[in-house]
Chain A
């Protein structure tokens, strides 16, 4: 389309030039015709000595990293639910993909066995602290806008995320897979609210048989792009 326009302009230009000369002759101005642009140049009057200044591409502010913190609730299988909190750092590789690292902490309560048996304790209090790290790959699957009231629109993203990591709980480091989804609500172009749901899966054999524990976590976070 664009090249077609260019051709069109050229055609107009070519037709226009001789046309102008013809009208000049018609109105009697033909005698003082200016030399055509192709004629040899008159002696150069000014020899430009000024070098053209090199314009450097200004460093454009790149905002591909996202850092923030979150707080929420984590349900540790057999150990009840407690407050969880953590920090996250993400790097946006493309408009779709991003990688994220998180470090978080929560606290396990008493299992029903420990409550019913009275005094028996399966693990010490310090071993009830659950700490984890995850390295995840996320994909912004549903980018969009939401409208609040008449004059406000905010960008949002629904993303799917999954990754690997390790969880320290009940005296051991446990290989952990986590999957989940999140909702990123951009308050401004650089500040975002997150609502996240994750399932942390790890194997645990504390209560007899080894089983895969599902530990669901939901949290609300705030991040800043930089």
Chain B
């Protein structure tokens, strides 16, 4: 048993084989337990899995791995990158209909030299090989973008336009609930002017699934 939930904390108590412990709570991969002598400390999952239930069967603890990366229902993440020369910060939430197809909701803030803006979109994502650690995906979506010129720019007005986009990228399983994500999207902004605008976007970031 360690004094804190991490490898760096010192071991201050040892529970003998055959003794029982009460599990109080869990933080990341660590379990806080109370030993028969009343001492409380933290034990990692690998140790807890060696324990037995009162009926003698092995205890199984929830464990995340590559399989959950493929099958997890919910996912959320943060990406940042370049949106047609401006900085973009994006948050997304995703729900998987099956291992291959998921629906995503994105919210982004665009911070440029001349204008700022917000963008929201709904995507459908298809993964051809969801069981791969390095899983490529294809995405298609639509939404809206709101831009407002910076206060130091004299002319210009606020605009809200519809957008459509296609793109692709990779979801890369890192560890436990954690994944890295990199993607490219090509946007078409349906402006009220004669010509539509096309914007390219590159983003990288991290996400976790649960």
The reply to whether A143 and B111 form a contact with Cβ atoms under 8 Å apart is no
Q: Which residues of B contact A138 (CB under 8 A)?
A: none
Q: Is A95 an interface residue (CB 8 A)?
A: yes
Chain A: minimal CB distance from B64 (Å)? 10
Q: Are A173 and B116 in contact (CB under 8 A)?
A: yes
- A interface, how many residues as a size bin? 35 or more
Which of A95, A172, A189 has the most B CB atoms < 10 Å from its CB? A95
**Interface residue? B201 (CB, 8 A):** no
Tell me, in angstroms, the Cα distance from A171 to B3 when the chains sit together.
49
A108 contacts B by Cβ under 8 Å: no
**Which residues of A sit under 8 angstroms from B150, Cβ to Cβ?**
172
Cβ A57 vs Cβ B60 within 8 A: yes
Which chain A positions have C-beta within 8 A of B59? Answer: 57
- A61 interface contact, C-beta 8 A: yes
CB distance from A225 to the nearest CB of B (A): 7
Q: Which of A52, A93, A225 contacts B178 (CB 8 A)?
A: A93
Chain A residues with CB below 8 A from B26, complex form: 60-64
Contact with A along B1-28 (1 / 0, CB 8 A): 0011111111000000000000111111
B206 proximal to A (CB < 8 A):
yes
- Report A183-226 CB contacts with B as 1/0, cut-off 8 Å: 00010010000000000000001100000000000000000010
Known contacts A143-B6, A153-B3, A172-B150: A95-B29 contact under CB 8 Å: yes
* A95 near B5: Cβ-Cβ < 8 Å: yes
Q: Across the interface, which residues of B come within 8 angstroms of A93, CB to CB?
A: 28, 176-178, 208
Chain B residue numbers with a CB within 8 Å of A81 are none
CA distance A156 to B25 in the complex (A): 19
Q: Which residue of B lies closest to A136 (CB)?
A: B78
B25: contacting residue among A57, A60, A142, A173, CB under 8 A: A60
Contacts of A153 in B (CB 8 A): 3
Scan residues 87-108 of chain A and give those whose CB is less than 8 A from a CB of chain B: 91-97, 99
CB atoms of B3 and A95 under 8 A apart: no
B192 at the interface (CB under 8 A from A): no
Does A164 touch B at the CB level, under 8 Å?
yes
User: How many angstroms from the CA of A137 to the CA of B27 in the assembled complex?
Assistant: 18
B105 contacts the other chain (Cβ, under 8 Å)? no
Which chain A residues border B89 with CB–CB below 8 Å?
Answer: 135, 164-166, 175
Q: Is the CB–CB distance between A155 and B4 below 8 Å?
A: yes
For A176, give the chain B residue with the smallest CB separation. Answer: B111
Q: Which of chain B's residues has its CB closest to A61's CB?
A: B25
Chain B residues positioned under 8 Å from A165 (CB to CB): 89
A170 CA to B60 CA, complexed, in Å: 56
In the complex, the answer to whether A155 meets B3 with C-beta atoms within 8 Å is: yes
When the two chains form the complex, which single residue of B9, B28, B78, B80 contacts A99, counting CB atoms closer than 8 Å? B78
Contact partner, A94, options B29, B87, B111, Cβ 8 Å = B29
Which residues of chain B are within 8 angstroms of A55 by Cβ–Cβ distance?
53-55
B25 touches A205 (CB 8 A): no
Note all chain B residues with C-beta closer than 8 A to A170. 151
Q: Is B175 an interface residue (CB 8 A)?
A: yes
Q: A173 contacts B111, CB within 8 Å?
A: yes
A132-185 contacts to B (CB < 8 Å):
135, 137, 140, 142-145, 153, 155, 164-166, 170-175
Where the two chains meet, the residues of B that have a C-beta atom closer than 8 Å to any C-beta of A are 3-10, 23-32, 53-55, 59-61, 78, 80, 87, 89, 91, 109, 111, 116, 150-152, 175-178, 206, 208
The 8 closest A-B pairs by CB, nearest first: A175-B111, A171-B151, A143-B8, A155-B4, A175-B87, A61-B25, A95-B6, A173-B116
